[in-house]
Chains A and B, each alone.
Chain A
Amino acid sequence: DAKTTQPNSMESNEEEPVHLPCNHSTISGTDYIHWYRQLPSQGPEYVIHGLTSNVNNRMASLAIAEDRKSSTLILHRATLRDAAVYYCILRPLRTSGTYKYIFGTGTRLKVLA
């Protein structure tokens, strides 16, 4: 399975936008890009996913590069509640096997008041 690379940590000021990058240079054409976040002492929480086009939902936006070798999760106005570890995960199309997630170590986002 293709791997992702994320910065270990990032900081943002409250109420400012945050851009969380993810590199996935070996992505294949049918790999979905999923983002999850994990708040302290909680299980991972789905944020957003996409294939080729940029995606928006109530939590965030996902910007996918034209060559799909990188993507960026955008939080439009960071709040203290957004402090979490953010995971970028590739979801390959399988003809057999399990649709398990393969997590990396993610990006720890700190939001400053």
Chain B
Amino acid sequence: GAGVSQSPRYKVAKRGQDVALRCDPISGHVSLFWYQQALGQGPEFLTYFQNEAQLDKSGLPSDRFFAERPEGSVSTLKIQRTQQEDSAVYLCASSLTSGYQETQYFGPGTRLLVL
């Protein structure tokens, strides 16, 4: 079946531009996560949605980062006034429920390069 998809796969932005990254989770998955992965590091948690509700945004690094999931399916991560330190791979993951034993299914990521 279809997995998690993300678009675009690559994005080059000039410093100061706004960008929007899209995530299409597996159909019917309640939980959706965003992670940021810097070069050579493991992914780091950014934010979590249960359906359309954003229940945890403790990992968002600044108020320039904003995420939404208005209808409980597709999610968008928006970064305003991009900075060079925002260059990273942004990963989206979904899971069927929010339960203790659920595993997460990751998309291929969007590689963002800010010049």
Contacts and interface: CB of A to CB of B under 8 A. Distances in A.
B91 A104 contact: no
A41 B106 contact: no
A99 B43 CA distance: 14
A49 B103 CA distance: 9
Interface string A48-92: 010000000000000000000000000000000000010100010
A15 B97 CA distance: 37
Interface string B73-115: 0000000000000000001010100111111111111000000
Interface residues of B, number: 30
A46 B55 contact: no
B42 interface: yes
Interface of B: 4, 31, 33, 35, 40-45, 48, 55-56, 58-59, 91, 93, 95, 98-109
